[in-house]
Structure formats: structure tokens, C-alpha cells
Amino acid sequence: MHEELASSSSPTQNIYQWRDILAKFVLFFFGVALWHKGLSLFGGILLALAWVLDGSLHRLKQAIRREPLVLAILLFCTVLALGIFWSDDLRSGYNVWKKYAILLVFIPFLYLLNKERLPWAISGLLAGYSGVLFMGVYQWIIVGDTSLSFPLLKMSRTGFSGMLGIGVILAIYLAGANSSKKVKPLLWIFASLLLFIQFNQGARGVLLATLFSLLLLIFMRYRTRIKALLGVTVATLIVVGIFAYSSTSLENRLIEAQSDIELSQQGKYTSSSGYRLAMWDVGLHGIAQHPWFGHGTGMPSRYFDETVVTYKDGLYKDLPGWLKTYHYHNDWIEIGMQIGALGLLTYAFFLWSWFQTLRARQLTTLGAVLVCFVFVAGLVETLVFFRVILYLLLVITAIAIVWQKEYGSGIKEGG
């Protein structure tokens, strides 16, 4: 009798075991693959497939009701998809929508995770992060290449800088949450090393996002302990000052920025900062023309190339020939151009829901700091074009949610 029961339940057990093995592999693989453009796309497809096979698709309605971030991502992607229909170029609209659709990866990743699979997801993420960090340090110190971009991974220096900044924030956050006297200083040292590397490469906007987020993290961590708040803030500012003073890369970028501003004052915008200022100017003009629903998903870059010839008597007319226009270097202007106020409201709801999702797990500080990073970096970049940053933040969010669910108050946000 027992043998019959065992044999009858064996196929079901085998199916569950294979689904579990697949889920663990996919979670690990995606942590490694997210750093490469092609592999991350393949990893996203595997995530969706494993999620369906795991039987989690039927829980999507429940997830929409319970998780603000899931609802916000679906709403934002839906609105962007609708914007394709009033675009003059459907193909371009679809191509742009695909970039924003990377946000959808959060859903299968989150719902594949459980207590047994967490180590696999964390191991994959750490393996990928460590590998790219090693490549960056080797390229910077041994090869002497200060650009710190990775053609093999198709990762720009902005993506690498974002990876470093997120590492700084997370390391210091975990240092505050860790009670071990041995682990805490190691995390601070690791964060300092990452920040030092970030100061020695050229993405200024993401560096500013890191510093703003770091100050917010320190304030929220120690706001009830004034002496500790002042001490940690002063120590952090001293370290930042030393890194800034010793960074040749930062000095060169500041000199370049000053030169760009002087050229802009002379009406010459064929420079990094001048080009960005011109893009913002034209973008705000475009939003004012179609404030409610924008120009359609995929239309902003085409609008710039067509409008810049006559806008302000051709003040920026030389820019399309100087540099190819891909995006507006500002999340809010980019989205406002795509789908107007409708898009800006859904994007604001997305950021608010991100915070609320973590806040509901008693991770208020982590939620505020991650959203701060996205918001500040998005003022000077269009983050969707640097997929590594969003992938990394979404994976960290999912891991934090499940960790807190499985281990209760395992992450303590007290100072």
C-alpha cells in the first residue's frame, strides 16, 4: 500500500523538484547575466518561462492587489505601450517601449524567490558584481584605461558608475543594519573603496546621485542620535573631500564642465554640457506643445532632430550632425516628451509605489534611499538606457522583500 502511494506521488514530486532546480538556476544565471546586454535579455526570457512553469502566473492578480510596485510597473508599461498608437513611427515606439519593459523583470524575479532560493539569487548577483568590479579595477589600474567602459559587456561608464554607487549605498546600509563589530567596519571599508573608484571615472551625474543618497541614508539612519549623525556626516564629508581632491578624473571633468559653460555662453553648444542644456531646452519646449499626452512613444529623438533646425532661429542646428540624439538625459523630460502629463503621473506613481512597497516591509530607509538615487540620477540621465542600473536596483528590491518576509526583522533599520 505504501509503495503504491509512493509511486503515485513520485511524478508530482519530480515535477516540483525540476521546477525548483530550474528556478534556482535561472535566479543565479540572471544575477550573472544582467551585466551583459544580450545575456540579460536571454535571462529575462528564462525568468518569465521559469515563472510560468513554477505556477506563479495565477498569482498575478493577487500580486497586483498586494504589491504597489507590481501595479505601478504594469501601469507605467501599459501607458507607454498606448503611446505607441499616437506615435508617427510605430517601429521606433515599440523599440523604445522594449527598453522600458525591462522593469517587468521585477515580477517573475520576485515571485520565483523563496527562502530556499534566496541563496542562489544572492550568489548569482554577488558573482556578477564581483566579476565586473574586478574587470573595472584591472582595466583602471593594470591597463591604465580611465574610461571604465566595457565594450565586451556593452556597458558604458555611466552604467559602471551606477553599479559602484549602488554598491556604496547598499554596503553602508548593511553596515548600519549589522550588529557584528567585525563585519561593520569591513562594509564601511568596502564602501569607501567603491566610492574611491567611482570618483576616478567620469560619470558626474550618477556620482552626485550617490552622494545625495548617501547623505540621505546617514540622516535617516542616525536622525534620532544627533551626536552620531554629526560625527558620521563630518567623517563622510572628509572622506568625500579627500577623494574629490585626489581625483584627476573629477578635476578634468570639472574643468571640462567649466569650459562647456563658457562655450554655451558664447552660443556654442557642441560640448557635453552644452548639448545636454540644449536637449533640455528643446525637450521642455516639446512638452509645452503637447502637455497632456506627449508626442507618442518613440518620438522624442525624432522631434529634436526636426525641431532643432528652426527652434530659436537655429541656435542648436549644428547639434544633430555633432552627436547622434538618443535620449534627453533626463527621465522626466524624456517621459514627458513621450506621453506627456499622463506619463509623468504614472512615473511619479511608480517611484512612490517603489518606496511604499519597501516601507510596508519596515524597510523605509532602504526604500527612500533607492528612490532618491533613481530620482537624482534621472535628473541628468535617462536611466532606462543604462539597463544595468535599473536591473540591479530591482533585483536588490526583490531580494530585500523576500528576505524580510522569510526572516522577519532580519534587517534592522535602527541606528
Q: Is residue 164 within 8 Å of 194, Cβ to Cβ?
A: yes
pLDDT, one tens digit per residue, over 319-343 is 776 566 678 999 999 999 999 999 9
Between 229 and 262, whose confidence is greater? 229
How many Cα atoms are found within 13 Å in the side-chain-facing hemisphere of 86?
Answer: 14
Q: Read off the C-alpha cell for 89.
A: 513611427
Whether the pLDDT of residue 5 is over 60: the answer is: no
* 330 within a domain of the structure (yes/no): no
How many Cα atoms are found within 13 Å in the side-chain-facing hemisphere of 292?
Answer: 1
Q: Could you list the residue range(s) of the whole structural domain that residue 40 is in?
A: 1-59+113-141
* 131 within a domain of the structure (yes/no): yes
Confidence (pLDDT) at 7: 46
Confidence (pLDDT) at 258: 72
- Express as a percent the part of the chain with pLDDT over 90: 60
* 96 within a domain of the structure (yes/no): no
> 25-29, 99-103, 245-249, 291-295: lowest mean pLDDT where?
245-249
Confidence (pLDDT) at 79: 97
* 210 within a domain of the structure (yes/no): no
Whether the pLDDT of residue 415 is over 60: the answer is: no
Between 121 and 406, whose confidence is greater? 121
Q: Which residues contact 367 (CB under 8 A, 6 or more apart)?
A: 354, 355, 356, 357, 358, 359
Q: Is residue 309 within 8 Å of 317, Cβ to Cβ?
A: yes
- Express as a percent the part of the chain with pLDDT over 70: 90
Confidence (pLDDT) at 2: 41
* 179 within a domain of the structure (yes/no): no
Domain count, the chain: 1
* 289 within a domain of the structure (yes/no): no
> Which one, of 233, 234, 206, 204, lies nearest residue 218 by Cα?
233
Q: Is residue 196 within 8 Å of 219, Cβ to Cβ?
A: no
* 136 within a domain of the structure (yes/no): yes
* 21 within a domain of the structure (yes/no): yes
Q: Which amino acid is at 275?
A: Y
pLDDT, one tens digit per residue, over 343-398 is 999 999 999 999 999 999 999 999 999 999 999 999 999 999 899 999 999 999 99
Confidence (pLDDT) at 3: 47
Mean pLDDT, the chain, whole residue set: 88
Residue 150 DSSP symbol: B
Name the residue with cell 563589530. Answer: 181
Confidence (pLDDT) at 412: 63
Three-state secondary-structure class, residue 155 = strand
Mean pLDDT along residues 72-95: 94
pLDDT, one tens digit per residue, over 29-70 is 999 999 998 899 999 999 999 999 887 777 788 888 889 999
Q: Read off the C-alpha cell for 394.
A: 530591482
pTM listed for this prediction = 0.92
